[in-house]
Amino acid sequence: MAIELQTPALFTGIGVALVSLFDEDGELLVDATAEHALALVELGVAGVLVAGSTGEASALDDDERANLIDRVRRTLPPEIPVFAGTGQPSTRAAVATSLRAVDSGADALLVLSPPRTRDPRPYYDAITKACPTTPVLAYHFPSVSAPGIEVDVLCSLPVVGCKDSSGDATRLLDETQQFQGAIYVGNPVLLALAGLLDLQGAILAVANLDPALCARALAGDPHAQLQVAALHHKTSSDFPNAIKQELHARFDTPTGARLG
């Protein structure tokens, strides 16, 4: 069983790491992206992450990111939290990005740990001090921003939760025992384990494609877990083109991308 939270979880169940939709010339399609987010909410998504790594955040300029957050927030029902990805390589940049996201309507911030540091506490302290009324989730994704966040360090951060995309089951067990915030898995191969541990949920790229399947895996359906894992493998090998192509096949969305 997961330990009792010090603060209520921002959502439970399946959240989506939202794709950013582009036309074939690479122009950001703000309205289409917001409409896709609304369609996913109608299919059961309980939280929406805008401008995360799945959303090709590194290819968005500051105004695009702000406009996207604003449009998605205004399009979705108020009870669905909108998270903004605001991690940056430096503290100064992360604070600036976080402040702009809050001004644009973000309900919470998902902040990737900075690269090449084993003590990100000053980084998270600065962000939470700059945005004192906005919940902050730490983001552990060592394959993207090494070395990530050690569990004992995570427990000392001023955050309300963590998204863990490491795919490391041993670490997830350690987090469950030690960390007193909400835990959301970011790697879909651990959905069934997250459900077994009674964690708060997941924030997933594959939820763009089939949130109901993800929900069944989280609820403990082994066949759904295998299908989600296969879908993850299929769409993560050529990011972001593979997920854009699969999304087009399922929702007839544009296939344009800026990365890859």
pLDDT tens track for 84-103: 999 999 999 999 999 999 99
Grade residue 9 by pLDDT with cuts at 50, 70 and 90: confident
pTM above 0.85, yes or no: yes
Per the listing, tokens 């399009």 go with 75
Residue 2, pLDDT > 70, answer no
- Give the chain as a 3 state SS string: CCCCCCCCCCCCEEEEECCCCECCCCCECHHHHHHHHHHHHHCCCCEEEECCCCCCHHHCCHHHHHHHHHHHHHHCCCCCCEEEECCCCCHHHHHHHHHHHHHCCCCEEEEECCCCCCCCHHHHHHHHHHCCCCCEEEEECCCCCCCCCCHHHHCCCCCCEEEECCCCHHHHHHHHHHCCCEEEECCHHHHHHHHHCCCCEEEECHHHCCHHHHHHHHCCCHHHHHHHHHHHHHHHCCCCHHHHHHHHHHHCCCCECCCC
Per-residue model confidence (pLDDT) at position 260: 81
Assigned token pair, 154: 């995570």
**Average pLDDT, whole number, for the chain?**
96
Residue 139, pLDDT > 50, answer yes
How far, rounded to the nearest angstrom, does the alpha carbon of residue 50 sit from its chain's CA centroid? 8
Per-residue model confidence (pLDDT) at position 8: 67
* Mean local confidence (pLDDT), 212-236: 97
Give the span between the Cα atoms of 40 and 19, in whole angstroms.
11
The domains located in the chain, with CATH, are 13-251 (3.20.20.70)
